[in-house]
Amino acid sequence: MSVGNTGDVGEAGSAGSAGKTGDAGNAGSAAGVSGDAVAVGFAPGERDFGLSTRRARLKWVVVVHAGLPPGRAANAAVCAVAPTVAAVPGLLGDAAADADGTVHPGLPWAGCSVLVADSAALRTVRAKAAARPDVFVADVPAAAQSTRVYGDFLATVGRARTEEMEYCAVSIVGPRNPVDRIVGRLPLMP
């Protein structure tokens, strides 16, 4: 899995390569990605739980490969979401307590759409998103579902060129209008 465009990926960086962080030692920079990243996320005072998800400044979309069977599609989406939540501040709302006092962890207060695309469209979405310094990208290369040892995953991804990479899912967070243009009219996951 690779993550990028975050300014500082922290723990998410250990999950794979990080792009647009300004760190010359990461795979994103090694691939020629510039270090002029913009931190993507919500400021602490910006979270507005009374706001419609359609009015939030940032939009979060996960695009999953349409050809994956349901279990692998769910796995790919979750694997793309994990580094996104870790790297993009303010995505989750506060925990909710029910009438019995049981606490339920916070969910994405600004929403998260899950879309589907074929292999070519998924690659295009990832490339367009990665080209924007104001959009966070986390992807799940197909090698994530064909290897059982993380070191093997790293080696497999390390041998592939970006333009040849097959993806199971891509998670992107960025300004609403650019994200809408990046994903176009991709359908919601059925």
Model pLDDT, residue 76: 99
Rounded to a whole number of angstroms, the CA Rg of the chain reads 16
Model pLDDT, residue 60: 99
Model pLDDT, residue 4: 55
**167-175: strand order across its sheet:** 18-19, 2-4, 136-141, 167-175, 58-65, 113-117
pTM: 0.82
CATH classification code of 1-19+54-87+111-190? 3.40.1490.10
| Rounded average pLDDT per 10-residue block, the chain, 190 residues | 44 33 27 50 94 97 99 99 98 98 98 98 98 98 98 98 96 98 98
- Report phi then psi at 115, rounded to 5: -115, 170
Model pLDDT, residue 1: 55
Model pLDDT, residue 93: 96
Tokens, residue 54? 């359609």
Model pLDDT, residue 44: 85
User: Tens digits of per-residue pLDDT, 119-175?
Assistant: 999 999 999 999 999 999 999 999 999 999 999 999 999 999 999 999 999 999 999
Tokens, residue 187? 């359908």
